[in-house]
């Protein structure tokens, strides 16, 4: 009897699976859209490519094969045009973040990144946005400079600073690792009021690798809800629980001490506005909410900026003539390194910002795109009415590498951003469509730390090339690891965010 019941259950599941497959392939409302048949059958298709870290590349390949609208899951469509950016991520879009973003909740508390309800997210954004406007950035700049000075000093160790006439190159340096440590020091200081001191202490150096695992698990969990429902996501993360607990506990204890102190709050840390914020319904942040928000802000701010900066190093090292031009621009603009700070001199360095923009074009931090779920009544995207319950997205990586928007889309050409250049895009180096370049996304869910990130990267890169000459370290590097026909930047992985491949370089003090 038991065997008959078991056999019946198996047969029932097979019939259900067969019927569901037939429905998804030929009768589903999205069946009219082109895409791989396997993708139409299951969300495990997306989860597998995200697990491998190559979904961003695969989406672009699918667009090249099928066009600007591709079905990448049973209920998932990717679009690839600037106009659809507005339709999906604009303030008037009839969409919400998918419920699966709650995988990013920390200790049960939602964050500005994981909040699904618009009113909850709006309250969090109103609370934090004043910390990232132009007026607030200036107090941050002096603190950022202190860490960048420490960073450039550490990079110079072993370069024989006392005898530059010999032109000695220093030992190989893992620029990516040191850059991640710098950015985690900066973001923890700004967000928490206390740095993790990763540049000078090994205690928290596990954090970037921990966050990489979180990014992978979260990206997969958002793509395939069953990962969390079946507990598979937790199993993937079981070896990291202790590290995550220690980090969150450290942040929570500091927040508790800060909230219990008798000192007056200032706007110099992000704990302050959250501690006093209250919406019209009386909602306030709890201590746990603040700790969760701070943890996410540190992770998102440091990881994305550090990856972008590491990629900038890689592109410049691959293009020594551009690196030489950038070096000349910085050294001819500033008389000494202390002059390199926010201000008109820095903003006059057009090639500097062009290099950063070109890096973000080629490898945007949210390369996979961010899913949005269509709400009741459907929504128009690119002229098509998309039914409720559909997840929709635009991959910034695919959009930025569209030849009709950016000629020679796979080439590192900073001049495309320079007014008057023969390679300039649009008019005066500005894309004719403002939504063609969206490295920080757009709309009410766009990155609130965009200005802070660009300020940090510009000062950092300018100071490094002012002080040092750079070259690849001897031995194997990305060019030796790639497969035939593969570009070096395709070695990057992208999960929740893009993660740069390590850059091993040598530095020497400037010779002139």
For 190-219, letters b (16+ CB in 10 Å) and e give bbbbebbbbbeeeebeebbebbbbbbbbbb
One DSSP character per residue, 97-140 reads E-GGGGGG-BTTB--TTT--SHHHHHHHHHHHGGGGSHHHHHHH
Query: Which of 330, 332, 323 is closest to 346 using CA atoms?
Result: 330
Query: How many angstroms separate the CA atoms of 245 and 229, rounded?
Result: 22
H/E element holding 468?
strand 468-472
Report H helices in 232-319: 232-236, 241-260, 271-276, 287-318
Query: How many angstroms separate the CA atoms of 151 and 322, rounded?
Result: 23
Q: Look at residue 306 and give its three-state secondary structure.
A: helix
Taking CA atoms, 92 is separated from 265, 373, 385, 399, in Å, by: 36, 14, 15, 21
Q: Is residue 219 within 8 Å of 212, Cβ to Cβ?
A: no
Q: Residue 3 CB: number of other CB atoms within 10 A?
A: 7
Mutual angle of helices 118-128 and 287-318, in 10-degree steps: 70
Phi, psi of 113 (to 5 degrees): -85, -30
Query: How many angstroms separate the CA atoms of 162 and 171, rounded?
Result: 16
Taken in order 89, 93, 99, 102, the sign of the CA dihedral is positive
Query: How many angstroms separate the CA atoms of 245 and 88, rounded?
Result: 35
What 250-253 contacts at long range (C-beta under 8 Å, 24+ apart), as own/partner pairs, is 251/192, 251/291, 251/294, 251/295, 251/298, 252/287, 252/288, 252/291
Taking CA atoms, 314 is separated from 175, 176, 473, in Å, by: 9, 10, 12
Q: Look at residue 161 and give its three-state secondary structure.
A: helix
Query: How many angstroms separate the CA atoms of 111 and 127, rounded?
Result: 12
By DSSP bridging, strand 391-394 and strand 498-499 are unpaired
Query: How many angstroms separate the CA atoms of 273 and 267, rounded?
Result: 7
Report H helices in 436-510: 450-467, 478-481
Query: How many angstroms separate the CA atoms of 87 and 486, rounded?
Result: 33
447 is in an annotated binding site: yes
Query: How many angstroms separate the CA atoms of 213 and 12, rounded?
Result: 37
Binding site members for heme: 447
Binding site members: 447
């Amino acid at each position: 009897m038991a065997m008959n019941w078991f056999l019946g259950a198996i047969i029932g599941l097979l019939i259900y699976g067969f019927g569901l497959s037939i429905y998804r392939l030929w009768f589903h409302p999205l069946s009219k859209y082109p895409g791989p048949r396997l993708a139409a059958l299951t969300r495990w298709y997306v989860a597998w490519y995200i697990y491998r870290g190559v979904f961003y590349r695969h989406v672009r390949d699918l667009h090249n094969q099928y066009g600007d609208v591709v079905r990448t899951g049973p209920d998932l469509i990717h679009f690839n045009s600037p106009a659809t950016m507005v339709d999906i991520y604009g303030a008037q879009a009839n969409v919400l973040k998918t419920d699966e973003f709650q995988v990013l909740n920390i200790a049960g508390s939602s964050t500005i990144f994981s909040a699904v309800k618009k009113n909850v997210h709006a309250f969090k954004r109103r609370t934090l946005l004043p910390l990232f406007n132009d007026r607030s950035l200036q107090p941050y700049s002096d603190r950022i400079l202190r860490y960048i000075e420490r960073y450039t000093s550490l990079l110079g160790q072993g370069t024989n600073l006392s005898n530059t006439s010999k032109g000695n190159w220093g030992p190989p340096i893992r620029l990516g690792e040191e850059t991640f440590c710098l950015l985690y020091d900066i973001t923890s200081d700004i967000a928490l009021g206390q740095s993790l001191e990763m540049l000078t202490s090994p205690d928290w150096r596990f954090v970037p690798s921990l966050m990489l695992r979180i990014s992978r698990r979260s990206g997969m969990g958002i793509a395939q809800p069953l990962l969390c429902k079946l507990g598979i996501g937790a199993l993937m993360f079981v070896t990291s629980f202790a590290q995550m607990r220690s980090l969150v506990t450290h942040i929570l204890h500091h927040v508790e001490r800060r909230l219990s102190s008798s000192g007056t709050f200032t706007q110099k840390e992000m704990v302050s506005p959250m501690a006093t914020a209250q919406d019209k319904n009386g909602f306030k942040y709890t201590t746990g909410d603040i700790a969760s928000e701070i943890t996410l802000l540190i992770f998102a701010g440091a990881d994305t900026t550090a990856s972008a900066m590491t990629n900038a190093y890689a592109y410049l090292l691959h293009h020594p003539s551009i690196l030489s031009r950038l070096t000349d621009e910085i050294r001819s603009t500033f008389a000494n390194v202390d002059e390199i700070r926010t201000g008109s001199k820095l903003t006059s360095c057009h090639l500097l910002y062009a290099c950063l923009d070109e890096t973000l074009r080629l490898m945007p931090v949210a390369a996979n795109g961010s899913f949005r779920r269509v709400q009741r009544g459907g929504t128009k995207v690119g002229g098509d009415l998309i039914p409720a319950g559909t997840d929709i997205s635009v991959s910034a990586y695919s959009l930025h590498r569209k030849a009709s928007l950016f000629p020679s889309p796979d080439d590192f050409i900073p001049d495309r951003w320079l007014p008057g250049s023969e390679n300039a895009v649009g008019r005066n180096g500005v894309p004719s469509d403002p939504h063609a370049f969206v490295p920080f996304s757009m709309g009410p869910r766009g990155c609130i730390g965009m200005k802070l990130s660009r300020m940090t990267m510009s000062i950092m890169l300018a100071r490094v090339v002012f002080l040092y000459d750079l070259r690849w370290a001897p031995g194997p590097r990305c060019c030796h690891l790639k497969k035939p026909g593969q570009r070096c930047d395709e070695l990057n992985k992208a999960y929740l965010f893009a993660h740069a491949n390590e850059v091993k370089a040598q530095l020497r003090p400037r010779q002139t």
